Structure formats: C-alpha cells, structure tokens
Amino acid sequence: MRFIMNRFLKWKDLILILALTNLKQRYKQRYLRFAWAVIHPLFMMAVFTIVFSRVAKLPSEGVPYPLFSFTALVPWTFFASSLSFCVYCLNAQFNLITRINFPKITIPLGSILATSFDFLIAICLLIVMFFLYRFTIDPKAILIIPIIIIQLIFTIGVGLILSIANVYLRDIQNALPLIMQAWMLASPVGYSLNMVVNDKLRFFYLLNPMAGILDSYRRVLLHNQLPSLYYLGMAFVVALITFIFGYWFFKRNEAHMADIISL
C-alpha cells in the first residue's frame, strides 16, 4: 500500500497536468460550464423528492427530504461521474498512449482529479442548502475527510479496473450507464440505510461500500453523529481490497495496452 502511494506521489505533476487538460476539454463550448456540476444533483434531488418523498412517502430520518437526498447525491454524483469518465479515458487518449512512453495509470487518475473539482462545487452548494434549511454544521463535520478518503480509494480502484477493462472489451462503456443506475438504486441515495432491517441481508448490502459511505455522510452532516464503525469499517475493507486489486489489474494489463487500443 505504501509503495502504491509513493508511486502516486511521484506522478503528481503529470496527474495534475492531465486533470487540467481534462477540465478544459470537458467544458469546452459549454455555455453553462461549471454550472453543470450542480445542475445534475439538483435535478436528481427534484426527481427523488417527487418519487420517493411525495409518491412513495419514504421516511427521511426526520430531515427535510431535499436536504436528505442531496447530502447523498453529492458524493454519489462524484462517484458516478468519475467512473463515467474513467471508463473511456484510455481510449480517448490513444494518440498519446501510442506515441509517448509514460505511466498510463496517470490518465484515469487525472480524470478522477478533474471530477473532484465538480465535487467541491457541489459541496459548496450543499453548504448553502444547510443555511437555507437552517441546519447548523457541527464540528463533527470534519469527519467527512476520512469518509471522502475512503470513497476516493474505492473510486480509484473501480476506475482503474473499468478503464483498463474497456480497452480490451469496449462494450463496458455502453453497459456502464445501466450498471450505475442499478447501483444507485441499490445504494441508500433516495432512502435510508436503516430501512434494511434484516441483519443477514444488511451484511451483504454493506458489501457495497457506497452504502456505508453514504450513510456516514448523513450521520456526520445531518445528525451530528459519529459514523458507524461497522458500516464504515466494512466500506474501508472492501474499498482497500478494490484499490489494491485495481492497481494490480491495471499494471498487469498495461504492457499490451498500446497494441490493443490502436485496433
């Protein structure tokens, strides 16, 4: 693990350059530009409020439902957007990959770093919503830092797997939107994790790290509580395994990437 982190730090300048290039390309010829970072979660919040709160009348842990859902939608949108850009990032940079010898792993890392800029904008909007709903931000909110780190570890792991797998099997980028829709419904974005009352079912449910991560965001930000060590601990273990496997899987298949990607 320390070896991997040292390698990431060694590549930090290249990752930053790729992230800035990614941002410029992403918002080129878009009039709303960075506004898209908040339009998507706001739109989803409105849809969730109508479907889950007004129609299905699901409980929201005593919190106004728009704030309840938006608190989970902000990190979820970062996760989903990171994967959507990671999945085709290597194929999009085939000219660079086939002409220059450099660590290819920096490309998906740069994509995730670029997406984190949108995440910061969405967090600022979430803070505004807290003031609008007159929710106080407790000092425990500082605990979102380790939660974000765990989410980032998991996001990088999945992103590395998807990016290199899509080089060899390009149907993955077509299937990903469907997978992410199903994954969102299987995660406590529009509903509370507490609705999963069966203990045996909850264990398997928590094998999805986003379940424990999203619940931790809500506990810290909405309820001024400490995260559940059991929920967040399971998320960390699965995230770490995914991260290590993703790094190994990427490096193992990196050697023949240039030959495959040019086909």
Task: Please name the residues in contact with 187: beta carbons below 8 A apart, sequence gap of 6 or more.
Answer: 72, 76, 208, 210, 211, 214
In whole numbers, what is the pLDDT of the chain averaged over residues?
Answer: 86
Q: Is the CB of residue 29 less than 8 Å from the CB of residue 117?
A: no
DSSP H helical ranges for the chain:
2-10, 12-26, 36-48, 65-92, 94-99, 106-132, 144-168, 172-185, 199-205, 209-221, 229-253, 257-261
Q: How far is CA 199 from CA 195, 196, 204, 225, in A?
A: 11, 8, 9, 22
Q: pTM of the predicted model, to two decimals?
A: 0.91
**Model confidence pLDDT, tens digit, residues 132-174:** 998 888 888 899 999 999 999 999 999 999 999 998 888 898 9
- Among 31-40, 162-171, 240-249, the minimum mean pLDDT is found in 31-40
Cα 78–chain centre separation = 4
173, 20, 164: which is closest to 104 by C-alpha? 164
**Token pair recorded at residue 256:** 């023949």
Q: Which pLDDT tens digit goes with each residue over 17-33? A: 777 777 677 666 555 55
Residues 238 and 207: beta-carbon distance below 8 Å:
yes
Cα–Cα distance, 60 to 62 (Å, whole number):
5
Cβ atoms of residues 137 and 130 within 8 Å: yes
- How is the chain split into domains, by residue range? 2-261
